[in-house]
Amino acid sequence: MENLYPWHQLAWDISVAQGMGEDIEQGFQQQIATELNRDIQNGSVLCWSESGDPIRGSVPLELQRKLVPHITQKVGNEWLKQNHYLFTWEPINSHAQEIAATFIDLTLLETPEALLGAFKQWGLRPDWFKDLNSHGWLLNARRVKGQGQRGNRAPALFCPFAVMNGLISSVRVAKRISPGKAWYVLEHKFPKVYAHFSVNDPRL
């Protein structure tokens, strides 16, 4: 069997190979990763677990948080061709793969509902998620776009660390949250995210 790679590595490797600038690279990664994940969710992409066990059928986001779908180079390139991308994926087996994992690690992302549960009392408003273009810092915190149709829609996913930083610095937040309190909320509401970014905690 061919080597297996986390599905999100495809977008990272291609953007690196194309030498894209940072802003273009981030936008491209999000676009291609969102489209590939959409097809993984609806079951049209052949996937395997990290251990090599086949994953058949749809793979919803909730399952992906526990079981990261992997693909082969052949499957990835077939998907690119079917979706009219004029790229060939050559997997990068280096430190770039570790970076790719952090790019769209679903276990480090949360839904608007979860974020509102943690930060609503500190000024985060539900209507902002419906008008992200008016709140650039929140738009930049989005890592996966919402997908699907009525009755079967996958929510958008955001980086809680980026949302926290936005609340700290945004002048449009009615009730400002102090850095210390913001990190306290992150630590207790999103412990895995906190552990990932704790080196930046000003309280330490």
Closest CA relative to residue 144, chosen from 171, 178, 105:
105
- Asked if 1 and 52 touch (Cβ cutoff 8 Å), the reply is yes
Q: What is the C-alpha separation between 106 and 89, in angstroms, rounded?
A: 22
Higher model confidence: residue 92 or residue 41? 41
Q: What tens digit of pLDDT does each residue of 173-204 get?
A: 656 788 899 999 999 999 999 998 888 888 87
Q: Is the pLDDT of residue 108 over 80?
A: yes
Q: CA-CA distance, 186 to 198, in Å (whole number)?
A: 10
Cα–Cα dist 146/111, whole Å? 10
Q: Model's pTM, two decimal places?
A: 0.54
Dihedrals phi, psi of 22, to nearest 5 degrees: -60, -50
Structure tokens at 98: 């570790």
